Structure 1
Amino acid sequence: MPSAEPRPRRRADAERSIARVVAAARTCLSQDPDATIDDIAKAAGVGRMTLYGHFPTRAALVEAALVEALRAGEETLSAVDLSGDPRDALARLLESSWSLVAESAALLQAAQGVLPAGRLRELHAAPAERVQQLIRRGQEEKVFRTDLPMSWLVSAVHHLLHAASEEESSGRLDGADVAYVVTASVQSLLNVPSSGVVPAVGAE
């Protein structure tokens, strides 16, 4: 009877090939959002036909690379200590978050060119939920403002992180100063107004 070993071996080989392609796509697209399939295949050490056998479209490959980047980022962010004073916890989260955003800025640009906005929001749901929960706790402890909609506050934090990444990559902001600038900007946004807290103005 024929051996049953070749099939598991082929499956393992395919999984290793897919992992190489995704890693190459993540690297190439992080350096150049317009990196071509040929660029990625060459970096992965596979042929175009092999790459297309795993990912039939560029969009599918870009999504796989983004998913992998977000998975790796989630490992980092889930290890951040968010206990204690919400303001201190937020500073720790932002310090870890901005560098991840900087690393994936070009990759996100590539994804925005091929993936629907709804899919991008879905993929970023976990990081957004973490920020939202921390802001809500700060509001409950009366150290963060409640007069602006939660969706706006979360979105503003997200855009400030990306703005910091762009400023750093353009040389207008020193890398050593980014963590402070991001934290100070976000804290300023979230701090309770000097006049006191006013009623919330919108649904989450």
Structure 2
Amino acid sequence: MPPTDHRRATAERNAEAILGAAEAQMARGTAVSISSVAADAGVSRVTLYAHFPTREALIEGVVTRVVGQVRDALADARLDDGPALETLDRVIAIGWDHLDRGGAIARVGADALTPAAMDRAHAALHEPLGALIRRGQASGEFRDDLSVAWLLTTFFAVMHAAGEQLRAGALAPEDAVGVLQPTLRSVFAKPAG
């Protein structure tokens, strides 16, 4: 292996180890510090800072990674098949499953990141969800008096609000999808008449 490839492979392994350590700490609800993440990842602080120059960049990296896992799950969800409203229901169920499992990560991300950083971290979902919204608007199932961008923003806001309600004890995990689906359907569905 040429030296450049070896260095790149080492850098990729280090970045993956750093993200894995930070994700594990966030999932446990442990305070994420550069020192503790570096120690758990088996890298120096200098190496960690080379990949993530700030704590916020590290947290954004973890949220981006988790959102990528949701994107991968949505790739198997047949977003181009069936009526758009039924597809929306599948997206909500998949999204909730990941949000419920990653609730502590979502909370740390929401507390530590700016709205712009949260938007960047969710960018991997903008295209598949935006395509679903455009398909639903073209078929007449989704309202077209609101922009794709606004419907995306509303989708993420409602999903994360459900996560906050769950953490506050106001929503039972087994009830979440049953609350989210009709709520988001009412936002997305084209009004009758």
Q: TM (normalized to structure 2)?
A: 0.80
Name 2:16's counterpart in structure 1: 19
Retained in 1: the 8 A contact 2:60–2:118? no
Retained in 1: the 8 A contact 2:22–2:37? yes
Distance 1:46 1:171, change over 3 A: same
Instruction: Report the Cα distance in structure 1 between the residues aligned to 2:78 and 2:3, rounded to whole angstroms.
Output: 46
Kindly state the Cα deviation for residue 166 of structure 1 after the two structures are TM-superposed.
1.5
Aligned mate of 2:160, from 162, 187, 199: 162
Greater fraction of residues in helix: 2
**RMSD across aligned positions (CA):** 2.9
> Percent of pairs identical after alignment?
32
Structure 1 residue runs of 5 or longer lacking an equivalent are 197-204
Question: Pairwise mapping of residues 1-204 of structure 1 onto structure 2 (< 5 A)?
Answer: 12-32=9-29, 34-82=31-79, 83-111=81-109, 117-194=115-192, 196=193
Instruction: Report the Cα distance in structure 2 between the residues aligned to 1:81 and 1:5, rounded to whole angstroms.
Output: 41
The amino acid that maps onto 1:178 is: A
Retained in 2: the 8 A contact 1:29–1:106? yes
The amino acid that maps onto 2:139 is: E
Retained in 2: the 8 A contact 1:105–1:162? no
Kindly state the Cα deviation for residue 108 of structure 1 after the two structures are TM-superposed.
4.6
Kindly state the Cα deviation for residue 112 of structure 1 after the two structures are TM-superposed.
5.3
Distance 1:127 1:53, change over 3 A: closer
Query: Which deviations, in whole Å up to 9, do the C-alpha atoms of 1:20-43 show, x marking residues without a partner?
Result: 111111221244384212232233
Retained in 2: the 8 A contact 1:33–1:106? no
Instruction: Report the Cα distance in structure 1 between the residues aligned to 2:138 and 2:51, rounded to whole angstroms.
Output: 48
**Equivalenced residues, count:** 192
SS of 2:158's equivalent in the other structure is: helix
Greater Cα offset, 116-125 or 155-164: 116-125
Query: Which deviations, in whole Å up to 9, do the C-alpha atoms of 1:145-184 show, x marking residues without a partner?
Result: 2333433322211111111111222322121121121111
SS of 2:144's equivalent in the other structure is: coil
- If you compute each CA radius of gyration, which structure gives the higher value, 1 or 2? 1
Distance 1:85 1:169, change over 3 A: same
